[in-house]
Amino acid sequence: MTQDQQRGAAPPDVDVVVVGAGFAGLYMLYRLRGLGLRARAFEQASGVGGTWWWNRYPGARCDVESMQYSYGFSDELQQEWKWSERFASQPEILRYANHVADRLDLRQYISFSTRVQAASWDEATDLWTVRTDKGDAVRARHVVMATGCLSTARLPEIEGIGSFGGRTYHTGQWPHEAVDFTGQRVAVIGTGSSAIQAIPVIAAQAAQLTVFQRTANFSIPSHNAPMDEPYEQEWKSDYPARRAKARAQHTGILRNLNDKGALEVSEEERRAEYERRWAVGGTAFMVSFNDLVLNEESNRTAAEFVRSKIREIVKDARTAELLAPKDHPIGTKRICADTGYYETFNRPNVSLVDLRSNPIERIVPEGVKLADGTVHAVDAIVFATGFDAMTGTLTSMNISGVGGETLAEKWAAGPRTYLGLCSAGFPNLFMITGPGSPSVLSNMIVSIEQHVDWIAQCLAELRQKGLTRIEAEREAEDKWVEHNNEVAHRTLYPRAGSWYMGANVKGKPRVFMPYIGGVGTYRKICDEVAAESYRGFRLGEPAAVPA
């Protein structure tokens, strides 16, 4: 007899509500259906694909190689899909997400164009009620937040944005109809990954492009190219073994990690290694040596190499100096991969404005006004200003748990989770790639699959035992948060004012949010927790409501 039957409680409308139909939501739905659970997903967008549905800005592309940035759970899927480029573009990844949704027949379980506004926990019945902007109020035993890590786009706190007379765009909310900048004067504000991908493409179209840079970023050429057939075949003939290996790696990506430290080799050898990696391209540059994010001096050698490349590429010495990052160790802000980014600044129609020496005062009807009074008149402004990363979507959703405490209240001083999967006081609510898990420091699809598999197994075990409740224990959570911080502070990462630290959002607590201990290590911990009857979780009994 289940706890519901013992209590004589009415059964829920569904077993699980999944919020989001990106790669996390799609795979979660598939596994839930496979377990015979009744599941319903809500998706704010009108289609599947999550981040790849929203981020349609020119040049949007994945920085993980296509052969690895795809689902590994189904050999059929990975064998039948053909990627056309080494690094897939946004439209191709979106086609892939649509293909998966159709292939696995998942659309019937998804309510599109429906935004979840609130979820509230009922202690008496062990049920969540999930409310949407379409008036749904669905009672579910469990809720899985498959809401992504970079899904709340952020406009900067610059006055006067509404007064601008031309068109404005945000890279993370790009229009679905084609945007044509031909003949226009365009401003791009921000120089993170999105801007670095968009700038070369916009520059090729616009009459004039002005890039407003606050912080220079390190970028490595991706050397993107059409997919090499033999390379594709090599992967496909060995896919299961390679996927298994990748899952055990630090980042969930198979790449050529050098097991030597940067200072263990001669300067000549070091330079040769950096040159070789630069020529291969992509973010694997950061594993040129095994201590680049651990040792300041090692890191400096890599940073100096990239700065020397920027000075070589960019002809105007002042522009080159502005583009060469000096205020954070390389890799401690997400390293970018580009196609002709630095070269773009050699074009006659492109100029760079340094906001450190001359900040934006406000947006005016004609364009961007700087502190010294200069007005850059433009026809369009592209805000490439990022996201309220990792927590923004969850804390803005009005999720209330035991005793009515909201997640936003609980996380006011920074996110608190056990394993990045659950948060104490919010029973039966799981997060896929939540803060406190490797998430954005890893191949997202590998991390998504690991979380989905773990949650699916957990739900299957709860059902088998007739249990209606699982909740992270505060003590286990406190220890995990402490461990998360401790591991992060062993590295150079906290030295950068990055969105990993919440530093890009005014007033957001500075806490290193993703788990940096590595995907392989993290997976082992999660597996051990499950094997030890969900160590650190309380199962099946009502939690004490705090007095």
CB of 21 to ligand NA7, least distance (A): 19
Element (H, E) at 270: helix 267-280
Taking the least distance from each CB to ligand NA7, the nearer of 211 and 292 is: 211
CB of 334 to ligand NA7, least distance (A): 4
Taking the least distance from each CB to ligand NA7, the nearer of 193 and 208 is: 193
CB of 325 to ligand NA7, least distance (A): 10
Of 524, 530, 498, the residue nearest 511 (C-alpha) = 498
Each as own residue / partner, the long-range contacts of residues 85-89 (CB below 8 Å, 24 or more positions apart, any chain) are 85/224, 85/225, 85/226, 85/227, 86/222, 86/223, 86/224, 86/225, 86/226, 86/227, 86/228, 87/61, 87/62, 87/63, 87/222, 87/224, 87/282, 87/337, 88/61, 88/62, 89/60, 89/61
User: Is residue 366 within 8 Å of residue 165, measured between CB atoms?
Assistant: yes
Taking the least distance from each CB to ligand NA7, the nearer of 371 and 545 is: 371
Taking the least distance from each CB to ligand NA7, the nearer of 12 and 494 is: 494
CB of 288 to ligand NA7, least distance (A): 20
CB of 314 to ligand NA7, least distance (A): 18
Element (H, E) at 92: helix 90-103
d(CA 527, CA 393) in angstroms, rounded, equals 27
CB of 68 to ligand NA7, least distance (A): 15
CB of 310 to ligand NA7, least distance (A): 16
Most distant pair of Cα atoms in the chain: their distance: 76
| Shortest-Cβ-distance residue relative to ligand NA7 | 192
Of 333, 355, 323, 330, the residue nearest 498 (C-alpha) = 333
Element (H, E) at 316: none
d(CA 401, CA 403) in angstroms, rounded, equals 6
Q: How far is CA 506 from the centre of its chain?
A: 20
CB of 213 to ligand NA7, least distance (A): 7
CB of 187 to ligand NA7, least distance (A): 11
Taking the least distance from each CB to ligand NA7, the nearer of 189 and 456 is: 189
d(CA 404, CA 120) in angstroms, rounded, equals 8
Taking the least distance from each CB to ligand NA7, the nearer of 113 and 173 is: 173
CB of 497 to ligand NA7, least distance (A): 7
The single-letter DSSP state of residue 363 is: E
Each as own residue / partner, the long-range contacts of residues 326-330 (CB below 8 Å, 24 or more positions apart, any chain) are 326/216, 327/215, 327/216, 328/215, 328/495, 328/496, 328/497, 328/498, 329/293, 329/296, 329/299, 329/300, 329/303, 329/492, 329/495, 329/496, 330/218, 330/286, 330/292, 330/299, 330/302, 330/303, 330/306
The residues of the shown chain that bind ligand NA7, judged by CB under 6 A, are: 150, 156, 158, 171, 189-195, 212, 214-215, 334, 355, 360, 384-386, 499, 504
CB atoms within 10 A of CB 207: 12
CB of 484 to ligand NA7, least distance (A): 19
CB of 171 to ligand NA7, least distance (A): 6
d(CA 153, CA 383) in angstroms, rounded, equals 10
Taking the least distance from each CB to ligand NA7, the nearer of 191 and 393 is: 191
Taking the least distance from each CB to ligand NA7, the nearer of 330 and 422 is: 330
Taking the least distance from each CB to ligand NA7, the nearer of 53 and 454 is: 53
Taking the least distance from each CB to ligand NA7, the nearer of 193 and 406 is: 193
Taking the least distance from each CB to ligand NA7, the nearer of 77 and 505 is: 505
Taking the least distance from each CB to ligand NA7, the nearer of 150 and 322 is: 150
d(CA 399, CA 128) in angstroms, rounded, equals 10
| Residues in CB range of 475: below 8 A, 6 or more apart | 536
d(CA 130, CA 138) in angstroms, rounded, equals 5
- Cα separation values, 315 from 61, 320, 342, 464, Å: 27, 7, 10, 67
